[in-house]
Chain A
Amino acid sequence: MMSWLPENVSTYGGDIDSIIRLIYYITSAWFFLTLGVFLLFLILYRRREGRRATYIRGDRLAEAAWILIPALIVLVLDLWIDFRGADAWAKVKGRVPPGDLRVQVTAKQFNWEILYPGPDGKFGTADDLQLENEMHVPVNKVVRVTLKSKDVIHSFFLPNLRLKQDAVPGREIEGWFQATKPGRYEMPCAELCGFGHSGMNGWLHVHPADEYQKWVKEHWPTS
């Protein structure tokens, strides 16, 4: 099952995958255990001529323990999953690192506008560079993304980097990622945003350091 996950190319993707994997193992074990007991009972206690069912009501605590204790184990496993996951959540969504590179992503029906601050490092100045559906970043650098929307809610999704975040009009939402492998990765929208939602897509280009410098030289306006 877990092999269906797309290749992970971000620093925190592994943390998310390991939580998914942990839940997968725990739930699979429970599935086979409960379904096994369930089927076993169905076979063992099928109707047989001359055998009367056992009269047990299961209201007394001593009897109910048969269902309460397994439920308690469920609780413990659940809490374990939750606390194991707390770090991964904090890492991805909690305090956003300052970042080596800042990019603004503005969603609109039905494109991603990618804005670079340009050589002066400030947004909203004449040397900004704007691209449509195309983001270029260097490998192994922390990229800080500011998400905005011009119209409706969209969701910025980078499957290979295990990053997803809604873009909400009226808000600026901060996010980040650090890609670990050069390549081209798809950047679809994951929230229904109108008739062009299907096909709202972009590409993240992760470049090796020197290639990225070349791209900057060729495309960024010179100051």
Chain B
Amino acid sequence: MSDPVAVLAIPEASLHHEELGFWRTYLFSTEHKTIGKQYLSLGLFMTIVGGFLAYVMRWQLAYPDTEVPGWGFVGPEFYNVLVTMHGTIMVFFVAMPILLGAFGNFLIPLMIGARDMAFPRLNMLSFWTLFVGTLVLLASFFVPGGAASAGWTGYPPLSAKAIYTGVNWGLNLWILAHAIEFASFLMGGVNFLTTAITMRAPGMTFFRLPLVVWQLLTAATLFLLSVGPLIAGAVMLLMDRIAGTSFFLPEGGGEPLLWQHLFWFFGHPEVYVILLPAVGFVCEVLPVFCRKPLFGYRWIIYSTITAGILSFVVWAHHMFLSGMDPRLAMPFSITTILISVPFAILVFAMIATLWGGSIRFTTPMLFALGFVSMFIVGGLTGIFNGSAPADIYITDTYFVVGHFHYTLFSAVVFGGFAGIYFWFPKMFGRMMNETLGKVHFWLTLIFFNATFFPMHILGLGGMMRRIANPMQYQFLQPLQPINVFITFSAILLLVAQIPFAVNFVWGLVAGTPAERNPWEANTLEWAAPSPPPHLNWGEAIPTVHRGPYEYSSPEGPEDWLPQDRLVVARSS
């Protein structure tokens, strides 16, 4: 294996610190760390919006057509808005900005030993583009007719004609907000890939990259390759709405199922765009707190790539009952089931990492372990959905809702918090409080399960998704106590985030100043000061001598061996 790696030369001039004004430093910054924090702030803010929508939705389900405390009357029209906007916000304006935007920007240059992103101005543009997209989405609540209400999947014809939902501009803005969001993450993804491919520090070969970088790159690649068809679909949908075309309207010769193909061709890879970064955070956190190399580094890389490739040939598992040819069900059922193999390898590798470790139960570690256990549940319940005959009964029920919250929401909650607690000292130069963090973890774990596990029971009982009032159905009335239970669990799950909010703000202003490497971790970001200065590395870029997970290696007396430390008597 040859070590030399192309390093883009940084112009000398930029090394000299120039005084930037307030605007250039905090707002229109081109600095990857600042931009990462901006993504984080935007994502956390939108979490509050999306979480509030979930609360209103849950109250309506527990006590249909009563006044929701703190909101008011909901009714079926607005319930559909809640369903739609909660999904859209959580997937596109919370999960992606936090997991991909915030951590991708903050971590990639630091972990590969670069001074910034390859295209810093493009990076700034991608954040502010997302900001505009967020404003457009939020504005859609206030236009006449209200916000989009055709589901986050926006199936036409419902979404293609204003008369079907009664929503005109709200849905147009919803499509526009998506288009802007896609543009933003396309620019971001190009930046991630270019940076990681061309700007790695000397000695940082591909097989010495931390796994989270691999996973962020795979996520960015999946997004780049899958979003094109959906952009085409979004343009067609907008044309159907405002220009009178009939791409998806059968009365004009169009085909409603075309949208579903385009949407899910993007939609399934999108699941991994969210999931893989979270898997990456866990891959970073586990070895640090096991003091042990991550088990099967290369196997994890191969599994990640395999899962990424397979994610392009499974989309029709969302469409078993859509009216597509039933003979397609078995092939897509088989590809879906094949994709469980790389994910099984990932989970088993995480568990095998624990074997023989010296495990420290810090807050980030607890969240990482929480992710592993919740992901096991989400993966297993997915087998029910992936089996075409079982799906006849299961699909469009709360079983599906339970399943994707165990996978996606656990990626955001457990993966995301593992990442925030782990890298907070590096991001902000201060420590968060461990006790508050542990309280946050246990409350979140308990109420997460109390909220989402009973949804599988509702689904088996036959409760459909997206209904505003279960009491309208006789066969669902006996299940109503479960709905009430879920609602109160969900409220407590939201309340359980208060310790985090306190901890975060308290940590920012008054946390103990963090050392350079508080967790005694190996990867390069810990070689920079906390927080890293402008351009990250002072005069010299670190040189990389080994892989990222050399913990408890026989090479040294300590149980950690940073990637950039030179050991004189080093075998091969």
The answer to whether the Cβ of A168 comes within 8 Å of any Cβ in the partner chain is yes
Task: Please give the residue numbers on chain A whose beta carbons come within 8 Å of chain B beta carbons, in ascending order.
Answer: 1-2, 4-6, 15-16, 19-20, 23-24, 26-27, 30-31, 34-35, 37-38, 41-42, 45-48, 51-59, 63-64, 66-68, 70-72, 74-75, 78-79, 81-82, 85-86, 88-89, 92-94, 109, 151-153, 155, 157, 159-160, 162-166, 168-171, 173, 186, 188-199, 201
The answer to whether the Cβ of B520 comes within 8 Å of any Cβ in the partner chain is no
Known contacts A30-B380, A66-B352, A67-B352; A153/B468 CB under 8 A: no
**What is the bound-complex CA distance between A15 and B352, given in angstroms?**
38
**What is the bound-complex CA distance between A42 and B377, given in angstroms?**
18
> Residue of B at shortest CB range from A13?
B393
Contact (Cβ within 8 A) A82 B296: no
The answer to whether the Cβ of B11 comes within 8 Å of any Cβ in the partner chain is no
Known contacts A27-B380, A190-B464; A75/B341 CB under 8 A: yes
Contact (Cβ within 8 A) B330 A82: yes
Contact (Cβ within 8 A) A4 B469: no
**What is the bound-complex CA distance between A212 and B388, given in angstroms?**
34
Checking A6, A15, A27, A55 against B475 with a beta-carbon cut-off of 8 angstroms, the contacting residue is: A6
> Residue of B at shortest CB range from A201?
B473
Known contacts A4-B460, A153-B256, A195-B149; A38/B352 CB under 8 A: no
Interface of A is mostly: mixed
Contact (Cβ within 8 A) A54 B396: no
**What is the bound-complex CA distance between A37 and B353, given in angstroms?**
12
User: Which chain B residues (353-395) contact chain A, with CB distance < 8 Å?
Assistant: 353-361, 369, 372-373, 376-377, 380-381, 383-384, 387-390, 392-395
Checking B338, B357, B392, B469 against A164 with a beta-carbon cut-off of 8 angstroms, the contacting residue is: B392
The segment from B150-158, B419-427, B498-506 that touches chain A is: B150-158
Q: Which residues of B contact A189 (CB under 8 A)?
A: 464
Contact (Cβ within 8 A) A20 B321: no
**What is the bound-complex CA distance between A59 and B549, given in angstroms?**
12
The answer to whether the Cβ of B247 comes within 8 Å of any Cβ in the partner chain is no
**What is the bound-complex CA distance between A37 and B462, given in angstroms?**
33
Checking A27, A47, A152 against B164 with a beta-carbon cut-off of 8 angstroms, the contacting residue is: A152
> Residue of A at shortest CB range from B297?
A59
The segment from B185-193, B343-351, B431-439, B537-545 that touches chain A is: B343-351
Contact (Cβ within 8 A) B389 A92: yes
- Expressed in whole angstroms, the minimum distance between the Cβ of B476 and any Cβ of chain A is 9
Checking B250, B349, B381, B549 against A27 with a beta-carbon cut-off of 8 angstroms, the contacting residue is: B381
The segment from B14-22, B74-82, B88-96, B196-204 that touches chain A is: B74-82
User: Which chain B residues (268-319) contact chain A, with CB distance < 8 Å?
Assistant: 290-299
Contact (Cβ within 8 A) A31 B345: no
**What is the bound-complex CA distance between A151 and B456, given in angstroms?**
31
Contact (Cβ within 8 A) B461 A6: yes
Contact (Cβ within 8 A) A38 B372: yes
Contact (Cβ within 8 A) B389 A89: yes
Q: Which residues of A contact B361 (CB under 8 A)?
A: 46
> Residue of A at shortest CB range from B77?
A195
User: Which chain B residues (332-346) contact chain A, with CB distance < 8 Å?
Assistant: 333-334, 337-338, 340-341, 344-345
- Expressed in whole angstroms, the minimum distance between the Cβ of B442 and any Cβ of chain A is 15
Kindly list the 9 A-B residue pairs having the minimum CB-CB distance in the complex, ordered from nearest. Answer: A170-B250, A54-B356, A58-B295, A159-B462, A67-B348, A88-B389, A41-B354, A198-B468, A58-B296
Contact (Cβ within 8 A) B329 A46: no
Given contacts A45-B354, A93-B329, A198-B79, 7 further A-B contacts (CB under 8 A): A5-B461, A16-B389, A45-B358, A47-B359, A89-B329, A190-B395, A192-B80
The answer to whether the Cβ of B51 comes within 8 Å of any Cβ in the partner chain is no
> Residue of A at shortest CB range from B475?
A186
- Expressed in whole angstroms, the minimum distance between the Cβ of B542 and any Cβ of chain A is 22
Contact (Cβ within 8 A) A198 B296: no
Checking B254, B334, B464, B549 against A157 with a beta-carbon cut-off of 8 angstroms, the contacting residue is: B464
**What is the bound-complex CA distance between A20 and B395, given in angstroms?**
12
Interface string of B441-467 (1 = CB under 8 A from A): 000000000000000110011101111
Q: Which residues of B contact A64 (CB under 8 A)?
A: 296, 299
Of listed B254, B321, B338, B361, residue having the most chain A CB within 10 A: B321
Q: Which residues of B contact A186 (CB under 8 A)?
A: 473-475
Q: Which residues of B contact A41 (CB under 8 A)?
A: 351, 354-355, 357
- Expressed in whole angstroms, the minimum distance between the Cβ of A159 and any Cβ of chain B is 4
Contact (Cβ within 8 A) A23 B387: yes
**What is the bound-complex CA distance between A159 and B56, given in angstroms?**
28
Q: Which residues of B contact A166 (CB under 8 A)?
A: 321-323
Contact (Cβ within 8 A) B326 A89: yes
Q: Which residues of B contact A37 (CB under 8 A)?
A: 351
- Expressed in whole angstroms, the minimum distance between the Cβ of A40 and any Cβ of chain B is 9
Q: Which residues of B contact A2 (CB under 8 A)?
A: 460
> Residue of A at shortest CB range from B333?
A82
**What is the bound-complex CA distance between A51 and B383, given in angstroms?**
40
Q: Which residues of B contact A67 (CB under 8 A)?
A: 295-296, 299, 345, 348-349, 352
Contact (Cβ within 8 A) B296 A59: yes
**What is the bound-complex CA distance between A84 and B333, given in angstroms?**
12
The answer to whether the Cβ of B554 comes within 8 Å of any Cβ in the partner chain is yes
Known contacts A34-B376, A197-B76; A89/B388 CB under 8 A: yes
- Expressed in whole angstroms, the minimum distance between the Cβ of B65 and any Cβ of chain A is 10
Of listed B83, B293, B340, B344, residue having the most chain A CB within 10 A: B344
Known contacts A31-B376, A41-B354, A68-B299; A55/B293 CB under 8 A: yes
List 29 A–B pairs whose Cβ atoms lie within 8 Å, in order of A's numbering. Answer: A24-B384, A27-B381, A38-B351, A38-B373, A45-B359, A56-B356, A57-B297, A63-B295, A67-B349, A79-B334, A81-B387, A82-B330, A88-B389, A89-B388, A89-B389, A93-B329, A153-B158, A157-B462, A160-B475, A164-B392, A169-B256, A170-B251, A190-B464, A190-B465, A192-B83, A192-B158, A195-B80, A198-B79, A199-B469
The answer to whether the Cβ of B552 comes within 8 Å of any Cβ in the partner chain is yes
Known contacts A53-B356, A58-B349, A192-B158; A81/B552 CB under 8 A: no
> Residue of B at shortest CB range from A189?
B464
Contact (Cβ within 8 A) B321 A74: no
Checking B333, B348, B381, B552 against A55 with a beta-carbon cut-off of 8 angstroms, the contacting residue is: B552
Contact (Cβ within 8 A) B358 A20: no
Contact (Cβ within 8 A) A155 B388: no
The answer to whether the Cβ of B263 comes within 8 Å of any Cβ in the partner chain is no
